[in-house]
Structure 1
Amino acid sequence: MRSFPWKVTPACPPRAPDAEVYKNLSNPRGIVYVFNYYFSDTRNARLGAAVDTYNLKELFLRMGYRVKVHEELSKEATEEKLCAIQTDSELERYDSFIMIFLSHGKDDTLFYTKDQEMMSLDDVRYFFVDGKCPSLKKKPKLFLASFCRGKVEETREYETDYSGSDETAEAPQDMVTIYASIKKFKAVRDPKLGTVFVQALCQVLADYAHELELQDLYRKLCSAMRDREGTTPEYQNYFFKKFFFNPLVIEGP
């Protein structure tokens, strides 16, 4: 039996929206999708990955969010799930949208699915631009990613998760992406405790999400990962205003 080692502090009162702050007051506050690829039947099994799923699910449930978990999907199944999410009328009821990917990676935005096929986080994000997903228009969309973005390794003790066009497209808006590591660097994982990124994220959100907005939380995340001998996370902003998680008063598992 696992136990969740952090205590979530609720926002009392929650931060109200204004011209510079997103509305995030729905109940549930938002919806969270966790895509986790274990590769459990291969020599590149991501030991500790199941702990990440547990910790993320517990964290966001205790913060008052709806959580849906998708594990060990092929590339085709992942794309089908993204299409289903994109057109899901249920998105209308939530003020915020969070999508998390945990896998082996190759470089920058590329990660592997269960069948060893590659997907780009850029492509994932374009599923949810305003023109393709009107239900999320003007709503905050957060993408969190823990996979290696290259072969360069920061000096740490943990395992790693390494494994030109003329087209036009709608530019993302109201989106933030936080990677576990910066471009060209590996991400790290403890075989027993899960990825350092998820450990640090859970700690920071449990302690500070009730009062700090996302960029301040990111700075706390950087410090928490450094304290845990983790990598340096990267924050990408696409015309994103201030965002407060506004945790609800939720007790127990």
Structure 2
Amino acid sequence: TRTQDMLQPNQSDGKCRSMTRSSQEFKHKILQEMGDKASITVSVTRSQRKGSALLITNIVFDYEENNRDGAEIDEENMEWLLRTLGYHVVKRRNLSGEETDREVRNFSKLLSEHRDADSTFVVIMSHGERIDNRDAILGVHYHQSRNPNDVYFVDKTFSHLNSGNCPSLIDKPKVILIQACRGGHPGGVEVRDQVPESDSWVHREKDFVCFMSTIPDTASYRNTKTGSHFINYILDVFCEWAHKDEIMELFWKVTNRMATCPGRTENKLLPGLERTYLPKKFYLFPEL
């Protein structure tokens, strides 16, 4: 049974989403135009892809006011997208900060799966906050006064998957998607799209791209009926353009659509790319 038939999600207009198929002719054309393999990540076809993706979604929290209504839609949508792209999805739900850290670390140790993979995705969706100028994912036991330490810092993901701790993913794209607030401010005010430079050596974090739902110090938004705006824009763009665009172009299209979305005033949305270094173009070639 095709993945689309099992999990096919709907667009905001009620129509079913479908992934535009790539073609062997296009893949051959791209490889010829790029000249040599030094400038492109040669992705396998969907049917050959053996890579895994980690999907973590926090929906139900200890304190009911923190529950993320509609987040299950994001989970379904992302699982459909990742499976459609050919990834085996490791799905986890409702984790503490410590459990999130353990799951990401365990995922980095899937040596046999990563060794045969061409790439990987890590997707984390929860509440978020900026703590001491670091992006933090809030665990399900978090409370600002009663349990403020139940967090997972996003930068740990880079440590778990870097060349030293996950050598089986060296020279392979590692795509990190974060759907979470990065502060409480609305996006319609003036914010600085800057974070401190990383102290990590470039070669230890090679082949990473981290796409976050907002820029620093800014809130993210979710519709309880259709899911988060960020995830919906990703699905729309990937379904329409992943058959011909490399991943940085896809993320640029997502950013452009979010930046120019009509009808939003104070609640402006603008995603951010963080700690990104992809020396090669990465094409997903869906549905080959």
TM-score normalised per structure 2: 0.76
- Cα deviations across residues 117-144 of structure 1 (Å, max 9, x unaligned)? 1111101211011011011011111111
The answer to whether residue 115 in structure 2 is matched with residue 115 in structure 1 is no
Deviation at 1:3, TM superposition (A): 4.7
> Which one of 91, 99, 102 corresponds to residue 122 of structure 2?
99
RMSD: 2.3
| Residues 138-173 of structure 1: per-residue CA shift (max 9 Å, x gap) | 1111111111111220249xxxxxxxxxxx755411
Aligned counterpart, 2:194: none
The Cα shift of 1:29 comes to 6.0
Length, aligned pairs only: 238
In structure 1, distance between residues paired with 2:7 and 2:285: 26
Which letter does structure 2 place at the counterpart of 1:105? Answer: G
Q: Is the 1:29–1:96 contact (alpha carbons within 8 Å) kept by the matching residues of 2?
A: no
**Does the alignment pair 1:248 with 2:287?**
yes
- Gaps spanning 5+ residues in structure 2: where? 1-5, 11-16, 143-149, 190-198
Q: The residue matched to 2:92 in structure 1 has which SS?
A: strand
Matched, 1:19 2:38: yes
CA distance in structure 1 between the aligned counterparts of 2:245 and 2:119, rounded to whole angstroms: 16
**Equivalent position to 1:36, from 47, 57, 72:** 57
Query: What are the equivalent positions in structure 2 for 1:1-253 lying under 5 Å apart?
Result: 3-5=8-10, 6-13=17-24, 14=27, 15-16=30-31, 18-25=37-44, 27-28=48-49, 30-40=51-61, 42-89=64-111, 90-107=113-130, 108-116=134-142, 117-155=150-188, 170=201, 171-226=204-259, 227=261, 229=264, 231-240=269-278, 241-249=280-288
Is the Cα–Cα contact under 8 Å of residues 50 and 116 in structure 2 kept in the other structure?
Answer: no
1:58 and 1:32 map into 2 onto residues whose CA distance is 12
Deviation at 1:37, TM superposition (A): 0.8
> How many Å apart are 1:65 and its aligned residue?
2.1
Q: Contact (CA 8 Å) 2:183, 2:218: kept in 1 or not?
A: yes
Q: Partners in 1 of 2:156 and 2:164 — Cα distance?
A: 14
CA distances 1:51-70 after superposition (whole Å, capped 9, x unpaired): 00100111121222222211
- 1:30 deviation in Å? 3.3
Q: Percent identity?
A: 24
2:59–2:69 contact (8 Å) kept in structure 1: yes
1:239 corresponds to which letter in structure 2? Answer: Y
Q: Deviations over 1:191-250 (max 9, x none)?
A: 11111000000110011001001221112102332437561011135331211111124x
- Kept in 2, the 8 Å contact 1:105–1:112? The answer is yes
For structure 1, the residue ranges without an aligned partner over 5 or more in a row are 157-167
Say which SS state the counterpart of residue 19 (structure 1) adopts: helix
Alpha-carbon separation, structure 1, partners of 2:104 and 2:166: 11
Q: CA contact under 8 A between 1:188 and 1:195: conserved in structure 2?
A: yes
Q: Is the contact between residue 103 and residue 112 of structure 1 (CA under 8 Å) also seen in structure 2?
A: yes
C-alpha deviation, 1:87, in angstroms: 1.4
Residues 29, 246 of structure 1: 8 Å contact kept: no
